[in-house]
Copies of this chain bind each other. A is one copy, B any other.
Amino acid sequence: MPAVISMTAATITSPNGSIVLNVDVNSVGEPYYNLSYKDKPVIIDSKLGLAAKEAKFTDQFKILSTDTASFNETWQPVWGEFSEIVNHYNQLEVNLENSNGLLMTVCFRVFDDGMGFRYEFPLQDKANYLAVLDEVTEFNMPANNTMWVIPGDYDTDEYLFTETRISDVTDALKKYNGVHSESQREKELESTVQTPLLMKSDDGLYINVHEAALIGYPAMQLDVDTTTYSLKSHLTPDKLGVRGYLQLPFNTPWRTIIVSDDARDILASQLILNLNEPSKIEDTSWIKPMKFIGVWWEMFTGRQKTWAYSDDYRAKPGVTDYTKLKPNGRHPANTENVKKYIDFAAKHGIDAVLVEGWNEGWEDWASYRKNRQFLFDKPYPDFDLPYLRDYAKEKGVKLVMHHETAANALDYERQLDKAFQFMKDNNYDAVKTGYVGAIIPRSEHHTSQGMVDHAQYVIEKAAEYEIMIDSHEAPRPTGLIRTYPNWLAQESARGGEFESMGGNPPSHTALLPFTRLKGGPMDYTPGLFQTDLSYYGEGKDGKAMTTLARQLALYLTMPSPMQMAADLPENYERFPDAFQFIEDVPVEWRDSKYLEAEPAQYITVARLDKNSDDWYIGAITDDTPREAVIDLSFLPAGEKFIATIYADAPDADWETNPQAYTIKKVNVNNKTKLKQKLARGGGAAIRLQPVK
């Protein structure tokens, strides 16, 4: 149970006692905290506070009082890795007042797998509005941890990770120069990294730093001090240099630290979801997880296919008569082709079909210099929506809407009601949104407060229309899927599409579950069967660094309630036995067991289907072959299962033989330990069906 040590300092422990938090103010009244895990320091003395133009909540503080409480509940998410989540923590509220009479409470919640804290600014006489200049939150590391970083950037997180020591971060980030989306800010961000950030200490602790419940506030990045090993919050400013506009009372998002000496605990942690508010949507019956295919990968495969209907770059949505344009003949979002996708989905039990490039505007869209890029209710002439709507309905397949906004959030908001009504009128329930480009309103970045507000505006409006969202290029997730369960997925990291643009090394998907996925599911787009792109000719010669079997495993290691089968139907038709796994694998789970894990190296996870007694297992490795040892002791004692194992063939290798896989069936029970060989860049996927 939590205990207050003295009037001016406070200590609190996690429910099982493994985590200890201390909070105090120093000699100049700066509040600070430290955190330990099983007596190992996780965070050494680290300052707390926030500076605004109008008031500095940083120093001259004294502790007025502390309040402690305990909380233990079990809640049921609408979908996810678990059907029940335990939310168990001890809470410490430290009520501070500074010499100017300013009031601030820091609320800490300590769980067995980490800690969250936030600043709470109550209604008070001495402060009302705040224009935020700086949040001074520190996460000071006791030693020169290993970290897996992507570079600080206000506008994109679509980067590969780099492994580095804290001391070497600045050098490590130099490799991103030039590809960085904000090259003019390279000095400002030269030692800045993004969250969710994963670290590993030499004494064996795994530490994830992120935030939860990002609402009405800019996203946090972290400035790294390479000599003191200090991390400090770096809020995304708007382009006028202000980091946020607040009115009191206001609670910031939670700053989160997940910690364990077992990497699997980081993957299993539900701490970030627990720090978010319960669902604001009362009736969630319309929220339906789904698998989908899409008119999408065609445009990446080097076949010169385009999102645009014509090559006339001067076509303007709402102005040009598109029926008079000359079609370019390379536009896959046409009626006949989409019909084929619908047929494939119907045949294979895939829920839905995404169609990109269906609407007016793609001829010349990627420019912040225009004020209207797209119309969201104007199909291209070759996309017969009434026909496809009825055809899909008849086949029992849903169409997934696509709203690329070209980052013009202002115009998207102007069209939003009409766009969502158009969806409902045409039987669409879900939309993939996109924000490629420089943001309009032009004062905003992708992760500044204005765009955080925009994302909330869109998700709430979508809920009004009973629409599910899969957002791309939006502020990276912070567990808001609990509050808005219609927010099925986001991109917010370098996804599978990059297999056609430089590739993702196998370590990438062995890091994302430790980092990006802590905020919520990713629309990673797994399921690539034709991994050697030279197959398509036309100068494409990249090879995705993955075996085919590994792509099946990703459906388990990268769980999402909106999961794509990314490859072309024609490629799936070439491997029907392997595609059977994608057909079978669920997208929501009753339970999940992380069996093996080491960041950037390997992950093995077992999940229980939410709607049956089938278990599914995914195992991946990095660029080194590996034997996964899959201990099935989690299975119910005494019950027999048949395991269908989709595995790398003995001679499989992402580079030389990616499509070599085997499928075999074996009998297993809770005594079984499967030893499963994973190729270089390989993986395995297993379905376990009870023998009745």
Contact = CB atoms under 8 A, between A and B. Distances in A.
Interface of A: 123, 128-131, 216, 238-240, 242, 245-248, 313-314, 316, 364, 367-371, 410, 413-414, 417, 441-444, 450, 453, 457
B239 A129 contact: no
Nearest to A319: B249
B442 A129 contact: no
Which residue, A131, A239, A441, has most C-beta atoms of chain B within 10 A? Answer: A441
A245 B442 CA distance: 11
Given A128-B364, A443-B239, A450-B441, A369 B245 contact: yes
6 contacts: A128-B313, A129-B370, A130-B369, A246-B369, A247-B316, A248-B314
A167 to B, nearest CB: 37
Given A128-B364, A369-B131, A457 B245 contact: no
A393 B82 CA distance: 58
Which DSSP category, helix, strand, loop or mixed, fits chain A's interface? Answer: loop
A662 B316 CA distance: 63
A257 B255 CA distance: 60
Contacts of A242: 442
Given A239-B443, A240-B239, A443-B441, A371 B128 contact: no
Nearest to A123: B314
In the A-B complex, the 10 residue pairs with the smallest Cβ-Cβ separation, listed nearest first, are A443-B443, A441-B441, A129-B369, A247-B370, A245-B369, A442-B443, A131-B369, A123-B314, A129-B367, A441-B443
Contacts of A131: 369
Contacts of A248: 314
Given A248-B314, A441-B441, 9 more contacts: A123-B314, A128-B364, A129-B367, A242-B442, A245-B369, A246-B369, A371-B453, A410-B450, A414-B457
Contacts of A453: 371
Contacts of A314: 123, 128, 248
B240 A442 contact: yes
A312 to B, nearest CB: 10
A441 B410 contact: yes
Contacts of A368: 245
A416 to B, nearest CB: 9
A171 B128 CA distance: 40
Contact of A370 (B245, B410, B414, B443): B245
Contacts of A417: 417
Contacts of A216: 371
A410 B369 CA distance: 19
A277 to B, nearest CB: 15
Nearest to A461: B414
A624 B161 CA distance: 79
Nearest to A248: B314
A444 B371 CA distance: 14
Given A128-B364, A443-B442, A245 B371 contact: yes
A238 B128 contact: no
Nearest to A216: B371
Contacts of A316: 247
A460 to B, nearest CB: 10
A413 B413 CA distance: 8
A239 B443 CA distance: 8
A369 B54 CA distance: 11
A246 B371 CA distance: 8
Contacts of A441: 410, 441-444, 450
A369 B442 contact: no
Contacts of A123: 314
Contacts of A450: 410, 441-442
